[in-house]
């Protein structure tokens, strides 16, 4: 290793490669408040230059075969694996999520797995007509340059969801990560760029203003956005003038419905992780739980028992599986929503009393019973470690209440009777419905929202088509 080239398999090497000590913008650890490093502040001029470079290199990248691009993606996955522990440490420090549990190491492993999966999906021309009238095929072309804007909750994995299919299809990518987790995404790209051709993947760090400049820029053929509903609406308005294609993966307020034949002890751990994965900061986490009267107390008790066993603390301490909220404003949202439930007379079964003297944005694991659907804790997306548990006495009413919000990202049904659960699932307005699990994603299974949770699919062959231009050919 030459002295000028940082070793990206080490944490110090990653920091050296991506930080800028003179920018005046620092990324801080949400568990301790400690400075991690300076973040480069990119301008609209940098964005213009990145678009020019992305357009210059795109034809040569598109001219490669699928096999060649897949080989490059597999090499990028190898590089991610070689740097996995260093990436997980940086992610844990910057996002706050623990190394263990379904958290930092899991996220970095997912980055390699999704990259490999995108390298492997077949994308052949489809024969649509082949009879006496003639032949028609549909084939999938690169779009050009894809602009991506991402959130702070799963910063590396969600970036990969935007990057890997785009590169596989012969597009180049300019990505702006969240201002809350910029170093994590810069580091991921630095690792991948050790093996990718120069210029096909560029990351520019900046805030929402740079995001707005990117999403209204005429140099992009497609924008993929993951974040809140309100920013998604702003992006759709901004993209209108250039008719830029969009994939919008927006917020959720997923309901879980327990059926009356479920075994509370058997489902409690699944319910817990469905809601508290990444300390609740997950788009498709369970954010409202509906339980029949006959099982209500048992489910509440089983959830409290499981929740008490899950240690929360600084992410780098190996025993922890829950961490802080990534930023203070999210902490304040969670605290406000729990207070709204408390003041309405809801019962706080666990948590709800943060230790204000503690360093970091730790909000305790909180379970709330006997709360109305109109309460802000139920009606709004909490995006943190607080789960409201509601009673129902009539299943049709529970389905109507589950569907009674503007968003529809995911939902789940819990029952040992799969046929019965399947029938309830067929009535839920969501892009994904899980049975006896929640939030479990798979690179082969398309993922996207219903209603205000957005449109467009990610993952699988459908995800490749979403970043491609279809061309029908008839003869
Ligand atoms: P956010 O909308 O506040 O920010 C997301 C990104 O948009 C950031 O990079 C930000 O800088 C940028 N941005 C802000 N204003 C912009 C503008 N006017 N134009 C362009 N870009 C702009 O979201 P967040 O708080 O980072 O993420 C949390 C939200 O994301 C939650 O609602 C969550 O449910 C949702 N989410 C959805 C999915 C999904 O797959 N559907 C996944 C993860 C998170």
**Atom 34, ligand 1: which residue's CA is nearest?**
251
Instruction: Tell me the CA–centroid distance for residue 27 and ligand 1, in Å.
Output: 18
CA dist., res. 71 & res. 58, Å (int): 17
Buried b (16+ CB within 10 A) or exposed e, 288-324: bbbbbeebbebbbebbbebbeebebbbbbeeebbbbb
Annotation marks residue 111 as catalytic: no
pLDDT over 90 (residue 443)? yes
pLDDT at 463: 98
Residue 2 has pLDDT above 70, yes or no: no
Least confident of 137-146, 283-292, 352-361, 362-371: 352-361
- Cα separation, 112 vs 114, in Å, equals 6
Q: Which atom of ligand 1 is nearest to the CA of 177?
A: 9
Joined together, the tokens standing for residue 163 give 């990057």
CA distance 291 to 371: 12
pLDDT recorded at residue 4:
75
CA of 253 to the centre of ligand 1 (A): 15
11, two tokens: 């944490």
Cβ(449) to ligand 1 under 6 A?
yes
Q: Helix H segments across 137-291?
A: 155-168, 182-192, 208-215, 229-240, 264-276
Check pLDDT > 80 for residue 126.
yes
pLDDT digit string (tens) for 373-415? 999 999 999 999 999 999 999 999 999 999 999 999 999 999 9
- The CA-based diameter of the chain, rounded to the nearest angstrom, is 78
How confident is the model at residue 3, as a pLDDT?
58
The pLDDT of residue 249 is: 98
In the set 81, 249, 381, 458, the catalytic residue is: 249
Q: What is the pTM of this model?
A: 0.97
Predicted pLDDT of residue 151: 98
Taking each helix axis as running N to C, give the angle between helix 84-95 and helix 182-192, from 0 to 180 degrees, rounded to the nearest 10: 160
Q: What's the pLDDT at 358?
A: 87
By DSSP bridging, strand 35-38 and strand 126-131 are unpaired
Quick one: average pLDDT of 417-432?
98
Does 179 contact ligand 1 (Cβ within 6 A)? yes
Average pLDDT over the chain reads 97
Q: For ligand 1, is residue 234 a contact (CB within 6 Å)?
A: yes
pLDDT per residue as tens digits for the range 210-254: 999 999 999 999 999 999 999 999 999 999 999 999 999 999 999
Taking the centre of ligand 1 as the mean of its atom positions, its distance from the CA of residue 120, in whole angstroms, is 29
Residue 151 Cβ inside 6 Å of ligand 1? The answer reads: yes
Counting other chains too, the contacts that 372-376 makes at CB distance below 8 Å and 24 or more residues apart are: 372/344, 373/288, 373/401, 373/404, 375/340, 375/341, 375/344, 375/346, 376/336, 376/337, 376/340, 376/341
How large is the average pLDDT for residues 345-358? 95
Spot the catalytic one: 179, 283, 300, 381: 283
Mutating to test ligand 1, I would choose from 95, 158, 215, 227 the residue with most ligand atoms within 8 A of its C-beta, which is 227
Q: Is the CB of 458 under 6 A from ligand 1?
A: no
Helix axis angle, 104-120 to 155-168, nearest 10°: 10
Burial 31-40 (b: 16+ CB within 10 A, else e): bbeeebbbbb
Nearest one of 30, 7, 35, 31 to 20, comparing CA atoms:
35
283 annotated active-site = yes
User: Does 461 sit in the ligand 1 pocket, CB within 6 Å?
Assistant: no
Question: What value does the mean pLDDT take over residues 8-28?
Answer: 97
pLDDT of 1 higher than 80: no
Residues 285 and 399 sit within 8 Å (Cβ to Cβ): no
CB neighbour class for 395 (10 Å; exposed up to 12, middle 13-18, buried from 19)? middle
- Strands 245-249 and 454-455, sheet pairing: antiparallel
Q: pLDDT category, 110, cuts 50, 70, 90?
A: very high
Which residues lie across from 141 on neighbouring strands? 469
Tell me the average pLDDT across 151-174. 98
* Residue of 151, 179, 220 to mutate, ligand 1, most atoms within 8 A of C-beta: 151
Burial (Cβ within 10 Å: 0-12, 13-18, ≥19) of residue 123: middle
For ligand 1, whether the C-beta of 431 sits within 6 Å is no
Per-residue pLDDT tens digits for 42-97: 999 999 999 999 999 999 999 999 999 999 999 999 999 999 999 999 999 999 99
């Amino acid at each position: 290793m030459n002295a000028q080239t940082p070793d990206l398999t080490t944490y110090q090497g990653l920091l050296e490669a991506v930080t800028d000590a003179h920018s005046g913008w620092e990324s801080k650890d949400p568990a301790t408040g400690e400075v991690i490093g300076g973040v480069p502040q990119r301008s609209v001029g940098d964005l213009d230059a990145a678009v020019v470079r992305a357009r210059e290199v795109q034809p040569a990248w598109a001219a490669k075969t699928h096999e060649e691009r897949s080989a490059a993606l597999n090499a990028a996955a190898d590089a991610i694996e070689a740097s996995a522990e260093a990436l997980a440490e940086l992610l844990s420090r910057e996002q706050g999520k623990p190394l263990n549990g379904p958290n930092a190491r899991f996220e970095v492993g997912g980055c390699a797995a999704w990259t490999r999966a995108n390298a492997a999906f077949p994308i052949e021309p489809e024969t649509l007509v082949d009879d006496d009238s003639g032949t028609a095929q549909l084939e999938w072309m690169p779009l050009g340059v894809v602009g991506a804007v991402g959130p702070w909750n799963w910063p590396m994995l969600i970036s990969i969801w935007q990057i890997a299919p785009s590169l596989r299809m012969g597009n180049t990518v300019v990505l702006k990560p969240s201002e809350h987790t910029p170093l994590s995404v810069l580091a991921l790209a630095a690792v991948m760029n050790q093996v990718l051709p120069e210029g096909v993947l560029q990351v520019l760090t900046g805030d929402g203003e740079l995001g707005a400049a990117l999403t209204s820029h005429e140099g992009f053929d497609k924008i993929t956005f993951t974040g809140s509903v309100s920013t998604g609406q702003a992006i759709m308005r901004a993209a209108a003038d250039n008719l830029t294609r969009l994939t919008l993966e927006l917020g959720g307020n997923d309901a879980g419905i327990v059926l009356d034949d479920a075994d509370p002890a058997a489902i409690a751990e699944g319910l817990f992780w469905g809601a508290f994965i990444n300390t609740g900061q997950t788009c498709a986490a369970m954010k409202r739980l509906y339980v029949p009267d006959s099982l209500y107390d048992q489910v509440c008790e089983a959830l409290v028992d499981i929740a008490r066993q899950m240690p929360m603390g600084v992410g780098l301490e190996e025993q922890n599986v829950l961490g802080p909220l990534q930023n203070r404003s999210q902490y304040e949202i969670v605290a406000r929503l729990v207070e709204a439930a408390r003041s309405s007379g809801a019962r706080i079964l666990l948590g709800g009393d943060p230790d204000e003297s503690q360093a970091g944005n730790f909000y305790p694991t909180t379970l709330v019973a006997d709360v109305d659907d109109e309460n802000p804790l139920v009606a709004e997306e909490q995006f943190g470690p607080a789960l409201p548990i509601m009673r129902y006495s009539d299943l049709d009413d529970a389905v109507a209440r589950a569907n009674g919000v503007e968003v529809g990202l995911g939902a789940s049904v819990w029952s040992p009777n799969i046929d019965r659960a399947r029938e309830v699932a067929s009535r839920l307005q969501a892009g994904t419905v899980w049975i006896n699990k929640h939030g479990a994603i798979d690179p082969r299974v398309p993922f996207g929202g219903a209603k205000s949770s957005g449109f467009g699919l990610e993952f699988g062959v459908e995800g490749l088509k979403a970043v491609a231009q279809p061309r029908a050919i008839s003869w």
